[in-house]
Structure 1
Amino acid sequence: MASLKAQAIQTTLTGNWQNAVTLNQKLLKEDPYDIEALNRLAFAFTILGKTKNAKTVYQKVLRIDSKNPIALKNLKRIDGIVKNPKAFAYNLKDISTLFIEEGGKTKVIELINLADSKVIALLRIGESLTLNTKRLKIFVLDQKKRYVGMLPDDIARRLIRFLKGGNIYEAYLKSIDDRKVSIFIKETRRSARFKNQPSFMPLGKGKISFAVEEPQDSSLPAGGSEES
């Protein structure tokens, strides 16, 4: 049987947040100063909407390590949630099944030209996003129709062709990590004319990332290239 720590990490990767709380609390009974377990517990509380609990746990992390970057950045994020709780009243899909990769049908894409950090701070992993096409650009909007960022130009041009031909896609926030925002795009319907044409190059099996950090400010347009 996997160790308690391995189980705790796995529940985070699969998005089983209630179980993540239980397992990390068990770890903390064994070692109350386990910073990794504390950060995992606080993040699980945040996803479950228990911001007061999350803040208390992050503050404990900072009493142990006053410069812990994860706790510092996520406390700022929680402050944004507390100030604007309605912005987080979303029905998020089960993350344990949301980010399943399918060859040629899904892709994780790093956005360019990010919105102001105040907008990014209101996003939640698993949140449904809108792809808004204008000319040769694809803009990404949140559930409140606020601008989040853009797809790199080469990916946008390819998807616009498929969109015009009848393909349908869904997009979700996958990660906010190291001042980067990545989204997960999934082809949900393929037009008959593109029967043998994949939307994306086939992907290998990947891991789910739940790191959450404060992104840098940015403004609108410009170009970009597809990430490797």
Structure 2
Amino acid sequence: MSTQTKEPAKSKSVYVDQAVQCAVDARWEEAADLNRELVDAYGPDESAYNRLGKALTELGKLKDAREAYESALKLNPMNPVARKNAEKLKGLMSAKQALKGGTVKVDLSLFVEEMGKTVVTTLKAAAGDVCSKVVPGDVAELRVEGDGVEVDTVRGVRVGSLEAKLARRLLKFIQGGNRYQVGVMSCDGSTVKVILRELYQDPKFMGKPSFPIVRKRETEFRPYTRENLINRDADAFVLDDEESDDLVAGSEAELEEEEGMHEVVDDEDDAEGEVDDEDEE
């Protein structure tokens, strides 16, 4: 009597495509199931474990999510996504344990970074004894004060102020109807790191992320050539003003989006200009 090996129901690429699409659509239960099925059908896969960890984190299953990332690390100890998220989940689980029994219910999804919807920043002007009153996992709110934005916990403890450039950007969104929530990620001495999350986007800001993300080129390519290859007698090529502007614009357009760490766009005029245009309309 012969035995036949059961073939997988789908190809590996189909599992991957469907799992990714579920994540894009925020169908986290389906995403988790598809990544588990992929591993069952084709064996351990570090990318599948990373996607599973993300889905389980979104579902609030932090312990299972950390185990998924640790499974990815067993296959590749240098996997940057798994290392970063496993460490972050360890901190969140510790904060959850420390706050157990408290009067404030913590929504752990607040601490999950999401491109365009969240940003991590260090507060300014925090009091020297702030860490005796604030712990990682505390939930806070934004409070507009003059031209600045203050951060206070829901218990009324002042934590610190947003950096000036970030405050100026968010003021326009807050005054326009957007709503935000803050979570304390770490507190060391008078240094407080928080995550800001957009909870509600006013329809007038449709398509305008609260926290634009770009990756700047880390190194500049400098061309070199031999001296004897340079024609010193050739006429210099000079760009007129219009061509020069086009070249600069093209260079700026080469900035690429990145899913990982978050950085607020440096060109505050462009960022704030988007909001100003809406105000004029």
TM-score, normalised on structure 2?
A: 0.48
2:172 aligned partner:
158
Q: CA deviation at 1:143?
A: 6.2
Structure 1: 5+ residue stretches without partners: 100-106, 174-178, 190-197, 217-222
Q: Contact 2:60–2:108 (CA<8 Å) still a contact in 1?
A: no
Q: CA deviation at 1:39?
A: 0.3
1:11 aligned partner:
22
Q: CA deviation at 1:45?
A: 1.8
Q: CA deviation at 1:25?
A: 0.6
Task: Classify 1:181/1:148 alpha carbon distance in 2 versus 1 (closer, same or farther; 3 Å).
Answer: farther
2:177 aligned partner:
168
2:66 aligned partner:
55
Which residue identity does 1:152 align to in structure 2? L
SS class of match (2:268): coil
Give the superposed CA RMSD. 4.9
- Indicate which of 81, 87, 102 corresponds to 1:76: 87
Q: Contact 1:152–1:226 (CA<8 Å) still a contact in 2?
A: no
Task: Classify 1:168/1:121 alpha carbon distance in 2 versus 1 (closer, same or farther; 3 Å).
Answer: same
Which residue identity does 1:131 align to in structure 2? L
Task: Classify 1:133/1:114 alpha carbon distance in 2 versus 1 (closer, same or farther; 3 Å).
Answer: same
SS class of match (2:178): strand
The answer to whether 1:23 aligns with 2:34 is: yes
Q: Distance in 1 between matches of 2:19 and 2:143?
A: 38
Larger RCO, structure (CA 8 Å, separation 6 or more): 1
Q: CA deviation at 1:64?
A: 0.9
Q: Distance in 1 between matches of 2:72 and 2:21?
A: 21
SS class of match (1:184): strand
Q: Contact 2:148–2:162 (CA<8 Å) still a contact in 1?
A: no
Task: Classify 1:33/1:186 alpha carbon distance in 2 versus 1 (closer, same or farther; 3 Å).
Answer: same
Q: Distance in 1 between matches of 2:119 and 2:269?
A: 8
Give CA-to-partner distance per residue, 1:91-120, whole Å, 9 cap, x none. Answer: 869x9xxx9xxxxxxx8575654589x999
Give CA-to-partner distance per residue, 1:35-78, whole Å, 9 cap, x none. Answer: 11110101222222322222222222111111111111111111
Q: CA deviation at 1:182?
A: 6.6
Q: Contact 2:47–2:72 (CA<8 Å) still a contact in 1?
A: no
Which residue identity does 1:7 align to in structure 2? Q
Q: Contact 2:142–2:181 (CA<8 Å) still a contact in 1?
A: no
| Larger radius of gyration between Structure 1 and Structure 2 | 2
Q: Distance in 1 between matches of 2:198 and 2:78?
A: 31
Q: CA deviation at 1:157?
A: 5.1
1:225 aligned partner:
268
2:145 aligned partner:
134
Q: Distance in 1 between matches of 2:106 and 2:196?
A: 21
TM-score, normalised on structure 1?
A: 0.57
Q: CA deviation at 1:33?
A: 2.9
How many positions carry a matched residue from both structures?
183
Q: Distance in 1 between matches of 2:149 and 2:95?
A: 27
2:198 aligned partner:
184
Q: Contact 2:60–2:109 (CA<8 Å) still a contact in 1?
A: no
SS class of match (2:180): strand
Q: Distance in 2 between matches of 1:143 and 1:24?
A: 38
Q: Distance in 2 between matches of 1:28 and 1:120?
A: 38
Q: CA deviation at 1:11?
A: 1.6
Identity percentage over the alignment?
19
Which residue identity does 1:171 align to in structure 2? Y
2:7 aligned partner:
none
Q: Contact 1:130–1:140 (CA<8 Å) still a contact in 2?
A: yes
Task: Classify 1:32/1:170 alpha carbon distance in 2 versus 1 (closer, same or farther; 3 Å).
Answer: same
